[in-house]
Amino acid sequence: MSTAMDKRKVALVTGSSRGIGRAIAAQLAREGYAVGVNYYERRDKADELVSQLTQEGCRALAVQADVSKRGEVDAMVKTVEDAFGPISVLINNAGVAGQALFQDVTDELWDRYFAVNLNGARNTIQAVLPQMLHEKSGVIVNISSIWGQHGASCEVTYSCTKHALIGLTRSLALELAPSGIRVNCVAPGVIDTDMARELGGEVLDELVEQTPLGRLGTPQDIANAVAFLASDKASFITGQVLTVDGAFVG
């Protein structure tokens, strides 16, 4: 692989200090991308991942930003591009989630979920898009959820934001296709992360029983799907939602 080609392989993964985002960042780094590992609060986990990847001979950089804040996003993108070059792959993974009865959803909760899950994706896309348009190439992958496709009781706010991400994906893919930029979406099912474990062992056992493949998904399952969509193997795929859920929702 040429040095010029290496320079074009630069990825930014939001919310990648833990869980699904961490697995995605690691997978892309091991496939030859220089990776910006974005974190909001857990600098320790982001630094840990960067150290691990660097020891493996990969290129990675921890970058802090609250993706809901445009100024912080712009600064993050500049930091990554100053270090590695123009971002060619953007993975919008940062998000917040939680359960609440709809009548108990406050303005603050509603606004925060949309600010991070949806506005965060808008902010990062708008920050990297000028360079992608200049290069007439690039890949954007948004991380939605099966709850964004089918809805979930007591998760109305979260489901709304994830459904909106699907609309963003499909519409933006049409807009950017003439410029050679692909936009796709991955919709994870029930994934074995710290967030899922907070539900408790009994609930997780029930979720396993409801999953036809007989297990929870892993962050690596999602990372594999994202890496495929980011690769040239998916060069004719855009505007699509790839559901990775073990047939949980049929």
Amino acid at 237: I
* Full 3-state SS string of 161-218: HHHHHHHHHHHHHHHHHHHCEEEEEEEECCECCHHHHCCCHHHHHHHHHHCCCCCCEC
Catalytic-role residue among 33, 40, 113, 158:
158
The radius of gyration computed from the CA coordinates of the chain, to the nearest angstrom, equals 17
DSSP state of 137: -
3-state secondary structure of 90: strand
Residue 1 Cα distances to 15, 171, 229, angstroms: 29, 34, 20
Half-sphere exposure of 79 (CA within 13 A, CB side): 17
Number of Cβ within a 10 Å radius of residue 207: 18
Q: Is 158 a catalytic residue?
A: yes
Please identify which residue in the block is written with the tokens 């990776």: 35
Q: Tell me how many degrees the CA angle 166-121-101 measures, rounded to the nearest 5.
A: 65
Residue 31 Cα distances to 34, 62, 104, 208, 227, angstroms: 9, 18, 44, 31, 8
Q: List active site positions.
A: 158
